[in-house]
Chains A and B, each alone.
Chain A
Amino acid sequence: MTTAFVQTRQPRGLVLAWAMLVGLTRRSPTFVLGTAIVLVFAALAALAPWLTDYRPTQTFPDHVLSGPSAQFWFGTDGNGMDVFSRVIHGSQYAFGIAIPALLLMMVIGVPAGLIAGYRGGAIDDLLLRTFDVLRAFPTIVLALAVVAATGQSIVIVVLVIGFLEAPIFARIVRSEVLALRSSELVEAAVAVGNSTWRVMLVHVLPNSIRGATAQMAIRMAWAIRVSTTLAFIGVGIQAPAPEWGVMIRQGAEYINSGEWWIATFPGVALVGLVLGLNLFGDGAQDLLDPKHSDSR
């Protein structure tokens, strides 16, 4: 009897994992699809050197502008560089910009929203006014102007995206903190003698972070879109860096003469990753934040 029991135990974990996956797929198919896409791109970024035969900036002078072939799967660009290798390595740039930008947004935005919401007063006013300015104005133009003026480096791109998007996190956290401030939970925490900082960090913060976590993937998608748009316009990251926006910019010159592969493949990769992150974020919003789900 006991041996039979032990034997059924082994597959049980797998069955359970499978059942959970099926359940999750049923609850939010977009979340599962999005996760799968993002994981594929993360794997591409991590394994890029082993997946490609050539370095992304290696030139082949004899194969300039040659179309997709067995040797160069996605063809070569105007410099004779392998488009396949450049597209795969491009995912490193995408994550390399999106992850630090997201961290910066949260490091600035979450505390600002927490303090503004809990303390109110001048900080709250300042935050609301900043948000008004950013809402009234297309931030991409501001990002362009700043990056163009302050230097063409990847660090500046990350800083600008992080700072411009931080108020969004601040506003989400702030609104949840405001709702929580007058709740019995906080009242009780104050009544038993916790210090203000302790109430904010231990009682308010963990209960007001959900909306912000649900936004993370969507903000990452946005960061990738902005950085590639900047590069496409010619600001920020410059050729020959294997960045998708740079590659689409290079390919745009050739599209009217029929060399379509240079701009097409990096664009497909860009759409794939951004769509994956958006699907992931959309699903995460449904799962984490059922209150805000519009299907109810």
Chain B
Amino acid sequence: MTVLQFVARRLALTIPLLLGIIFITFMLIRIGGQDAVGMLTSPLASKQEVDAIRASLGLDRPLLEQFAIYIGNVLQGDLGNSWQSKQPVLGEILRRLPASIELLFLSIILGAAIGIPIGLRAAMRPNGLFDQVSRFVSLIGFSVPTYWMALMALFVFYLGLRWTPPPMGRISIAAFPPKPVTGSYFLDSLFAGDWSAASSAGHYLILPVAVFSLIVAAPIIKQTRAIAIEILNSDYVRLARLYGFRPQTIRRLTLRNAFTPIATYIGSELATLLAAVSLVELVFSWGGLGQWGLNAILFGDFAAVQGYVLTLAIFATTIYLLVDVAVLVLEPRSAISK
């Protein structure tokens, strides 16, 4: 099976999955008791006026028909308009996505840099002291809610020590945001050569990235440990030991073979993490996709909620596909077992 065939087959499987997710959210938010038309109109509006608005939004038609119309629009790149901002949902999403991605990727890089070495070290001597301690620490990481950790970090490092800027967005209000290229204030200011803006954006990144990378590191420690232990107990490592290879060589061999499963694991967690990052955004008023999505859910902004869910679903399926293709290219033998 060539890579292209593989991608085509996976894409064909992805489409029903996406449709399923859209369908479920579409129906659930409409069947629910929340009536968004009631929020849009003045409490004094007459029954006829409310019905007129309902009809203009197409909400008086049967649910399945509404769904068909929505899918037709989505295929033409029209995700509808947000009822809160009156702006097209697609534009709102694209404007906010880079801020979330910036936070997510920096945290994952840092989290992996913390988690992978700890996991490998723990695997070298299972149930040793280092393993016990790291296992306990990673369980704490599993147990601390993201938003609470963010609040506590703010209290200590902003209010107490004054090391970090206030939780008000991504750059100081005194600084001019750079011209958008990548969407990351930090990178864009660097490209524009605006050092003061870059420094401000960098300072605003520190605390949210630090908090989220610790949340990300906990499951990475656990997975790396499990993967490395499996490899250390494999026949080829036993053979390498039998041949009398030095411990450094065995460690290198383990790392080399652990890389693909660890990368696959992190890839498979990306969508969940993109959803989880919204809680960090909420506490730091980050203004990214996640904060916007949570707000849309709270206010029953149908089109925005569907746009948010659809973005997460597309993101998740794309990442899965990329990870699988990468594995296929890196380790062609994995195709045989599929």
Contact = CB atoms under 8 A, between A and B. Distances in A.
Contacts of A229: 145, 147, 279
Interface residues of A, number: 47
Contacts of B154: 255-256
Interface in A114-135: 129, 132-133, 135
Question: Which 4 residue pairs are nearest across A and B when measured between Cβ atoms?
Answer: A149-B32, A138-B275, A275-B143, A267-B148
Contacts of B293: 141
Interface of B: 17, 20-21, 24-25, 28-34, 126-127, 132, 135-136, 139-140, 142-145, 147-148, 151-152, 154-155, 159, 166-167, 225-226, 229-230, 233, 268, 271-272, 274-276, 279, 282-283, 293-294, 297-298, 300, 305, 308-309, 312-313, 316-317, 320
B148 A233 contact: no
Contacts of B279: 229, 232-233
Main secondary structure of the interface of B (DSSP, over half): helix
Contacts of A256: 154, 159, 166-167
A151 B21 CA distance: 21
B159 A258 contact: yes
A148 B300 contact: yes
Contacts, number: 145
Contact of A148 (B31, B140, B166, B298): B298
B73 to A, nearest CB: 20
Contacts of B34: 148-150
Nearest to A134: B21
A145 interface: yes
A25 to B, nearest CB: 13
Contacts of A221: 142-143
Contacts of B230: 294
Contact of B298 (A29, A235, A263): A235
A101 interface: no
Contacts of B31: 149-150
Nearest to A232: B147
A282 B141 CA distance: 14
Given A137-B21, A225-B145, A294 B312 contact: no
Nearest to A144: B297
A252 B143 contact: no
Contact of A252 (B21, B127, B151): B151
